[in-house]
Structure 1
Amino acid sequence: MSHPRRSLVTGANRGLGLEFAQQLLERGDHVVATCRQPGRASALNGLVGEYPGRLHMLPLNIADPRSIAELARELPLVCDGLDLLVNNAGVLHSGERFGSVPPANLDDSFRTNASGPLLLTQALAPVLAEGARVVNLSSSWGSVSELEAFRTPSYAISKAAQNMVTALLAKALGERGIVVLAMNPGWVQTDMGGAHAELTPSESVAGMLKVIETAGADDSGRFLDWRGRPAPW
């Protein structure tokens, strides 16, 4: 590639999103990092000084179509195209029990985890470069075949729907050579995964970036884990 790679990461204020931004900057990318309130993203703001001119922060509420439209309008002001889109922003409502799952949880989870990535990718499709990569951060909890118990239904349902989003986007963007992947990052030490998880964010993201880098057209629409192994639907 003759120019530095141009990447956009959603939910980049913490956890895996922040780690993606960090590692993409370290490899030389120009990075657009989005989150709901960039002014309060202290760790992300700290990277601006470390990588002058290569990190831009823009506000985005992935669950709000108006916010997505505004991002699409603002993006050309800081970036002339995208080689990588990482749909990382997500929400998990804990403590749900059968018989008392709040409808608002289901609505919020679907808008954030499933329809949000679809609508964002659709809005940014005109600026995706030929052969670009789109990565949707999924979860083993969205796997129907691995379901063991009734747990976090709003999250599980929305991630299963997000996997279909990945398959649909692969079909829609395939003619342009754009590879779309659903990725299971593993059990990671984040606010969502907890302190006792198996992987550090650094390990998970480093593994995923290797998979993203080497994925080919035949991989588009697949569900892979952070090591590149097929994940069960």
Structure 2
Amino acid sequence: MRHCLVTGANRGLGLEFTRQLLARGARVVATARHPGRAAALNALAGDYPGRLHVLPLDVAAARSRGELARELALVLDGQPLDLLLNNAGVLHGGERFGQVAEADLETSLRTNAIGPFLLVQALADLLADGGIVANLSSEIGSLALRREFRTPSYAVGKAAQNMGTVLLSRALQPRGIRVVALHPGWVRTDMGGERAPALPAEAAAALLAVLDRLGPDDSGLFLGPDGAVLPW
């Protein structure tokens, strides 16, 4: 994975993916909605001059996706993108049945499902044949595993993203591009909270190891941090 793109890289798992990919020797384009406020990411760029490019992206906005596609082509300078890691996402906490807001459902769908799907579509010509698209999902988006009413807007958004993963895997199959959904586990980030057992460094390392082991027949799967296949 020589050239990688990580979305939502200003903190949490996205920042850790970026750090570990750089440590592996990759060249990384990392995106954030407000790059000027991404202090940790910009500090990392100072540690890896010429190998880390920080670009703006609001994955839910069509104009922003288009601008990223144009800038990315210049940054790559003719080299293909080996890994697209759709990490950017949003979660609305504290939702209760009867009080779920339409705006929160719409935001989740745009950010967690529609945006990543359309970003892959916009960047398809820049993807390397045989490359990888990894969508950061969650077991909360699994229909088969749901046993309670919890974080409905996030669950609906991730379930839709999972369908997008399957459809993209079929569309990109002729080029040997593997598209997978990844569940990172419960991770101690701003989204996961302080009670989560897994540290970002541990979760990122586990998922990168899963990507290292991907075979051609694994495209379209929903995988956990140990590489086990999860039910849709």
C-alpha deviation, 1:115, in angstroms: 0.5
Cα distance between partner residues in 2 of 1:103 and 1:211: 36
Q: 2:17 aligns with which of 16, 20, 23?
A: 20
Q: 1:36 aligns with which of 33, 37, 52?
A: 33
Q: 2:50 aligns with which of 31, 50, 53?
A: 53
Q: Which runs of 4+ in 1 moved over 2 A?
A: none
| Structure-2 residue corresponding to 1:154 | 153
Give aligned pairs, total. 230
Over the aligned positions, Cα root-mean-square deviation in angstroms equals 0.8
Letter in 2 for 1:217: P
C-alpha deviation, 1:196, in angstroms: 1.5
| Structure-2 residue corresponding to 1:7 | 4
| Structure-2 residue corresponding to 1:200 | 199
Cα distance between partner residues in 2 of 1:13 and 1:111: 19
| Superimposed CA distance per residue, residues 170-202 of structure 1 (whole angstroms, 9 cap, x where no aligned partner) | 000011010001000000010111111121111
| Structure-2 residue corresponding to 1:66 | 63
Cα distance between partner residues in 1 of 2:49 and 2:80: 19
| Structure-1 residue corresponding to 2:96 | 97
| Superimposed CA distance per residue, residues 41-85 of structure 1 (whole angstroms, 9 cap, x where no aligned partner) | 000001111111000000000011111011111111211320000
Cα distance between partner residues in 2 of 1:95 and 1:204: 25
| Superimposed CA distance per residue, residues 147-192 of structure 1 (whole angstroms, 9 cap, x where no aligned partner) | 1211111100010010001000000001101000100000001011
Cα distance between partner residues in 1 of 2:123 and 2:189: 28
Cα distance between partner residues in 1 of 2:80 and 2:90: 27
Structure 2 alignment gaps of length 5 or more: none
C-alpha deviation, 1:100, in angstroms: 1.4
SS in 2 for 1:209: helix
Cα distance between partner residues in 2 of 1:198 and 1:96: 23
| Structure-1 residue corresponding to 2:174 | 175
| Superimposed CA distance per residue, residues 106-154 of structure 1 (whole angstroms, 9 cap, x where no aligned partner) | 1100000000110000000000011000000000110111112111111
Counterparts of 1:100-119 in structure 2 under 5 Å? 100-119=99-118
Letter in 2 for 1:30: R
| Structure-2 residue corresponding to 1:191 | 190
Q: TM-score, normalised by structure 2?
A: 0.98
